[in-house]
Amino acid sequence: MITITLNCRHCASENLVRHGRTANGKQRYLCRDCQRSSRENPEPNGYTPAAREQILRAYEERSSLRGLERTFQVSRKTVSVWIKKSMPHSQR
Ligand SMILES: [Zn+2]
């Protein structure tokens, strides 16, 4: 059983099904709710420095990875890697 933890980028539904691949080999998903297709995380580690900074700043304010995940559609894992890199003195 494959668990898809993606959300539709159009309606934020989690009701996605695999729907072939994009030209560059990424998994494509079709949303069952709005019938539009979404691509897999376009660049898992390809956030722009600005986006990354914005997310890290939001983390400092709220300290909630779960919240970040919802707001920015970024995986907790990715953020925790950034946090480790950007806060060497972190106590966690
Ligand atoms: Zn949708």
At residue 65, does pLDDT exceed 60? Answer: yes
Domain count, the chain: 2
Q: Which pLDDT score, from 0 to 100, does residue 4 have?
A: 47
Task: Tell me the CA–centroid distance for residue 16 and ligand 1, in Å.
Answer: 8
Same domain, 20 and 57: no
Task: Tell me the CA–centroid distance for residue 25 and ligand 1, in Å.
Answer: 21
At residue 21, does pLDDT exceed 80? Answer: yes
- Residue 33 pLDDT class (50, 70, 90 cuts): very high
Structural domain of 20: 1-42
Q: What is the pTM of this model?
A: 0.42
92 located within any domain: no
Same domain, 38 and 71: no
Q: Which helix (H) or strand (E) holds 6?
A: none
Task: Tell me the CA–centroid distance for residue 70 and ligand 1, in Å.
Answer: 16
Query: What protein residues have CB closer than 5 angstroms to ion ligand 1?
Result: 8, 10-11, 13, 31, 33-34
The dihedral sign for the CA sequence 17, 23, 34, 47: positive
